[in-house]
Amino acid sequence: MFGRSYTPIGMSDVIFLGFLVICLVLLVGITVTMVYFIIRYSRKRHPQAEQIPGNIPLEIIWTVLPTVLVLGMFYYGWVGFKTLRQVPGDALQISVTGRMWTWTFEYPNGLKANTLKVPVKKAVNLNLTSADVLHSFFVPAFRIKEDAVPGMKTYLWFQAEREGTYDVFCSEYCGTGHSGMLSKIEVVSQDVFDQWYAGETAKPVKAPDGAALVVSAGCTGCHSLDGSRIVGPSLKGIFGEKTHVLTDGVERDIVVDEDYIRRSLLEPGKDVVEGYPAIMPAQTQLSAEEIDAIIDYLKTLK
């Protein structure tokens, strides 16, 4: 399930570990001093408080030292943040849409994919948005993460230094399928990328493929194709069968026909199969042809 994620120690790790060490030293130092003072200067041992007139060198040390430390931490945090926010002008621009519960990547030439293929040592800028709820695009190996927000554009850029396959997670709870909202970034050489890109672009526009669509639209995250029960009812052999649904809270029997499947995709809350939660998101991103292709595919799933 998980790709190879070779992660060298990078700048952000050095900064993170540096902050961690500073925090640990302060935590231990302050706690130990505090406990020592509580015991050493307790009222039992010192019924009479001593008058301390002040200590200039000490005042200077504990003002200057933390100031330098905190400004240093701010500096490194700021440098890292600036790098993350300044996208190189020649970056490859890719649109990323999060929806319950898949990621879709769209290249400048209109090519769409569910796995992000990019060339190595090339800046890539991801323009993120969401079709439904909040998601968050997270690539642990690259130490980058950004929210995908409905009705808003956000962005995130990276430059992969090594070829390989890296995991993409959704790191914002977005419903039942959240933990399964996975994808991959495939980093390949520029040659391999160019070949793939040109090849995919040159392909004639073919009729939508229902079998591929039920996977890419995320259907199989909740609906099995082999009869087993997951989050929703299995899609195996449902076409033409009778099923028991709840329509506005009223039970009724219906036949799974083309209209029912179309309605289930666009208005999933309308007729919910009894015994299953009414949680399916509307698949309004699907075109009429794509829905027809899915219907044709479901007819074959006997």
- Closest CB to ligand CUA among residues 33, 179: 179
What x-and-dash track marks residues 82-111 binding ligand CUA by CB under 6 A?
A: ----------------x--x----------
Residues 6 or more apart whose Cβ sits within 8 Å of residue 16: none
Task: For residue 139, state whether it binds ligand CUA (rule: CB under 6 A).
Answer: no
- Closest CB to ligand CUA among residues 99, 117: 99
Binder of ligand CUA out of 60, 173, 247, 277 (CB under 6 A):
173
Q: How many residues does the chain have?
A: 302
Kindly indicate which of the ranges 45-53, 154-162, 168-176, 268-276 contains the residues binding ligand CUA, using the contact rule CB under 6 A: 168-176
Kindly indicate which of the ranges 3-11, 74-82, 171-179, 196-204 contains the residues binding ligand CUA, using the contact rule CB under 6 A: 171-179
- Closest CB to ligand CUA among residues 106, 147: 147
Task: Quote the DSSP letter at residue 270.
Answer: S
- Residues 75, 67: Cα–Cα separation, whole Å: 12
- Residues 271, 235: Cα–Cα separation, whole Å: 16
Binder of ligand CUA out of 174, 187, 214, 256 (CB under 6 A):
174
User: Helix 258-266 crosses helix 288-300 at what angle (to 10 degrees)?
Assistant: 130
Task: For residue 178, state whether it binds ligand CUA (rule: CB under 6 A).
Answer: yes
- Strand runs labelled E in 41-163: 92-99, 102-106, 112-113, 116-119, 123-130, 135-139, 144-148, 154-159
Cα–Cα distances in angstroms (integers) from residue 15 to residues 21, 37, 65, 144, 145, in the given order: 10, 33, 19, 14, 17
Task: For residue 135, state whether it binds ligand CUA (rule: CB under 6 A).
Answer: yes
Kindly indicate which of the ranges 55-63, 65-73, 174-182, 293-301 contains the residues binding ligand CUA, using the contact rule CB under 6 A: 174-182
Structure-token match 């005042």, residue found: 59
Residues 6 or more apart whose Cβ sits within 8 Å of residue 295: 210, 239, 258, 261, 262
User: Cβ atoms within 10 A of the Cβ of 125, count?
Assistant: 18
The size of the interface with ligand CUA (CB under 6 A), counted in residues, is 9
- Residues 109, 87: Cα–Cα separation, whole Å: 20
Binder of ligand CUA out of 181, 261, 294, 298 (CB under 6 A):
181
Task: For residue 62, state whether it binds ligand CUA (rule: CB under 6 A).
Answer: no
Residues 6 or more apart whose Cβ sits within 8 Å of residue 152: 129
The two tokens of residue 235 are 């899609």
Kindly indicate which of the ranges 10-18, 39-47, 121-129, 173-181 contains the residues binding ligand CUA, using the contact rule CB under 6 A: 173-181
- Closest CB to ligand CUA among residues 130, 261: 130
Task: For residue 126, state whether it binds ligand CUA (rule: CB under 6 A).
Answer: no
Binder of ligand CUA out of 116, 126, 128, 170 (CB under 6 A):
170
- Residues 136, 175: Cα–Cα separation, whole Å: 13
- Closest CB to ligand CUA among residues 179, 195: 179
- Residues 132, 48: Cα–Cα separation, whole Å: 67
- Closest CB to ligand CUA among residues 80, 268: 268
Restricting to residues 216-235, which ones interact with ligand CUA according to CB under 6 A? none
Residues of the shown chain interacting with ligand CUA in the complex, contacts defined by CB under 6 A: 98, 101, 135, 170, 172-174, 178, 181
